[in-house]
Amino acid sequence: MESILNYKEKIHLLLEQFFNQKISTLKDYPRDITHIMETIKEFTLRKSSRIRPLICLSAYAMFKEITPEAQRLALTTELLQTALLIQDDVMDNDDLRRGKPTVHKIYETYKGYNENLGKSIAMLAGDIAALLVYELVEQASLPAAIRIRVIKEINGILEQEYYGQSLDILNATEQVTKEDILQTYNLKTAAYTTTGPLALGAILAGAKEADIVKLKACGKSLGLAFQIIDDLSNLFTEQAETGKIPYADLKEGKRTFIIAMTLEHASPQQKAIIQKGLGNKELTKEEAESIKSSIRTTKGLEKTKTYAFNLITEVEHLLREMNLQEQGKQYLFEIIGLLKEKLSKIH
């Protein structure tokens, strides 16, 4: 059976073609404007899993055979990610994304700009990337009803993500529960990583609303698992694989699910170690390793991995119950398998 990963390179090439075409329309603008679009292009084309368009195409294949038009429209999910990541990096003050400088860091040194100018241009670049999503929809040959439904879904994804990002920022300054964190993940991550792409793929294929609702239920659990595993990977995987600054989440003081799970079962001494390290911009490797040791000894890591695995199992169960085309379901099972493999390597 064909692998959904066969579409990964096709998605990359379509993105490259889309940006090249867009850049060609900017020849009458000042060079600085073209440079912004070229920066957005370079950022988007960096090595990536392309998981969101692949999820979108998997959902499409549950109803119809994947078409060139469907592949092009799946790019909307990757451009949404670009828009959100550029701005997320500004808010988190991250230096690296996928192993290279973040957009605001690029513009801090562009023409000798300063930090404030770098962040200002990056926020605008994120907005431009979001506008490109609508341009893709505008260019597509879609029935009016489906076009409107797609735009409504994109708007919903962005709205939820902005709410989730707001909560993520606020959570860093407050005492939050595991339930609070999961709610944030559902809004911030699931909306544009799993729930949204699944819904968009189904909508583009002309699916019934009842089937879209079922796929969104799958997407919610899958999105929570995705974010939890990403948090674990950022903490327990080497920088060469994550492409991010080591222990970035700890230094930023992020209240992740793994931290909340650990604090529930930590001794007073372990809690003190974790709370001292959270938000410490000068956190040393030794201090970070001490936190990781506490996470392991409290069984926070074990319990979190089990929680993520159970979420994935729930998605598999829901997917098997759906009376949809097997090709698309197998595509999504393949993506789920990659997520399970990533989880199994975290120790």
Rounded to whole angstroms, the Cα distance separating 38 from 80 reads 17
Contact 54, 4 (CB under 8 A): yes
Structure confidence by residue, pLDDT tens digits, 218-261: 999 999 999 999 999 989 987 556 566 778 889 988 889 999 99
174 has a pLDDT exceeding 80: no
At residue 173 the predicted structure's pLDDT band, cuts being 50, 70 and 90, is: confident
User: For 186-195, what is each residue's pLDDT tens digit?
Assistant: 999 999 999 9
Tens of pLDDT, residue by residue over 61-97, are 999 999 999 999 999 999 999 999 999 999 998 999 9
pLDDT (0 to 100) of residue 241: 62
Q: What is the pTM of this model?
A: 0.95
d(CA 137, CA 134): 5
Q: What's the pLDDT at 153?
A: 98
Q: Which tokens in the block code for residue 55?
A: 């999820």
56-95 in b/e burial notation, b at 16+ Cβ within 10 A? Answer: bbbbbbbbbebeeebbbbbbbbbbbbbbbbbbbbbebebe
User: Across all residues in the chain, what is the average pLDDT?
Assistant: 95
For residue 309, pLDDT over 90 is answered with yes
**pLDDT at 55 exceeding the cut of 60:** yes
Q: What is the CATH number assigned to the segment(s) 6-344?
A: 1.10.600.10
Mean pLDDT, range 28-43, rounded to an integer: 97
Confidence at residue 318, expressed as pLDDT on a 0 to 100 scale:
96
CB contact at 8 A, 79 and 200:
no
C-alpha 21/C-alpha 15 separation (Å) is 10
> Per residue in 294-319, is it b (16+ CB within 10 Å) or e — as a string?
bbeebebbebbbebbbebbebbbebb
